[in-house]
Amino acid sequence: MIIALDPGFGNTKTTTGHHAAVIQTAVSTPNHIGMADIGMKKQTKSNLVSINGANYAVGQNAWNLGAPIGGMDFSNLVSEPRLALFYAAFAEAENGHRDHIADQYKDNTLVIGLPVPLLQNEAETRLVLSDLKKMKRWHEFTYNKDPYRLEISKIKVLAQPVGAYTDWLLSWELGGDLVPRKGGKDSEVAILDIGMNTLDLYVIQNGQIVSRFIGGAKVGVHWMLTADRPTKDLVELDADLRSGKFKPTDTILSGWFSAVMDVVENHWPNLTRFDAVIPTGGGALLLKDQLTRSLSARGAAVHLPEDPITANVRGFWKWGRYEVQRKG
């Protein structure tokens, strides 16, 4: 089985080919309060992952059970809190497809995406890659009390924007194989990936990176969420944004959009040269109309994914499946 993982700061996304599961990147260690809530309504529930006897609340409302665990950066991808998010997303992705056979999840390939600003720092990337090797083993955990055993035997690391590119490039034909879109491989394609933490800019042609157009900056969704120096944790602000409780002012949205476009214009001064420009990530969904209009006005051939949030992880899975298909 091919397991795709996009470990973002806003969402952790996983797919095994059935559907893409999305878990908000929030983790806490639940406080044990005994019967202190007697006579009161039960606190909001959260999904629970157990690893080696340690319990973690993950996803939405995790912060109501305990203080959010920090350090969710990419130097900690193999820490138990980060693994708990991956395990939860994996279990959700397999929901309805599991037959409870212990060895069902034997000998799997993990395709994982990392952000461009991280990959541009070679020393830090080497440390992350070294840590990722520790994921090549059997993983045992429970998700909401259901036990899982999962073996990861191979790992392939890609830049996060490669996922959106592959999702755009490959589609299913009637015979069941993935095929590239006509002229797609020869096209010069620009990917604009706006996540929680970073804006990643990536350009690919003929399966190769066009180095002169690679870049990025930390002007992701967090820029907008923290513009007013709020007192809440970032994960709570993110949840408030999703639920509609937090509505950024026009001034904040305009400032964030300007910060994003400044980075784009500095790295891509002539958008008309690209055969396709793909906005992706949660930020692309939030800025959808304004971003599409602005890019189109600058001559970009915009191709907005059906679901910008899961485009990367879908593409990672397609990449892995296509590699298996090519090798027969």
pLDDT at 98 over 90: no
Split at pLDDT 50, 70, 90, the class of 117 is confident
Block residue for tokens 């996304």: 13
Are residues 211 and 239 both part of a single domain? yes
pLDDT at 207 over 90: no
Give the pLDDT of residue 37.
55
C-alpha gyration radius of the chain: 20
* Higher-scoring residue by pLDDT: 281, 207: 281
pLDDT at 82 over 90: yes
Give the helix/strand (H/E) hosting 126.
Answer: helix 122-132
Give the pLDDT of residue 303.
97
Total domain count, the chain: 2
Are residues 267 and 239 both part of a single domain? yes
Split at pLDDT 50, 70, 90, the class of 206 is confident
Range of the domain at 89: 2-162+312-327
Are residues 298 and 318 both part of a single domain? no
- CATH code for the domain in which residue 123 is found: 3.30.420.40
Mean of pLDDT over the chain: 90
Give the pLDDT of residue 39.
46
Determine phi and psi for 76, rounding to 5 degrees. Answer: -125, 35
Give the pLDDT of residue 12.
96
Give the pLDDT of residue 232.
82
Poorest-confidence range of 28-42, 55-69, 210-224, 302-316? 28-42
Task: Give a yes or no: residue 171 inside a domain.
Answer: no
Q: How far apart are CA 194 and CA 114, in angstroms?
A: 13
Are residues 196 and 143 both part of a single domain? no
Are residues 191 and 153 both part of a single domain? no
Q: pTM for the full model?
A: 0.91
Sorted by sequence, the CB contacts under 8 Å of residue 130 that are 6+ apart come out as none
- What pairing do the DSSP bridges indicate for beta strands 276-280 and 189-194? parallel
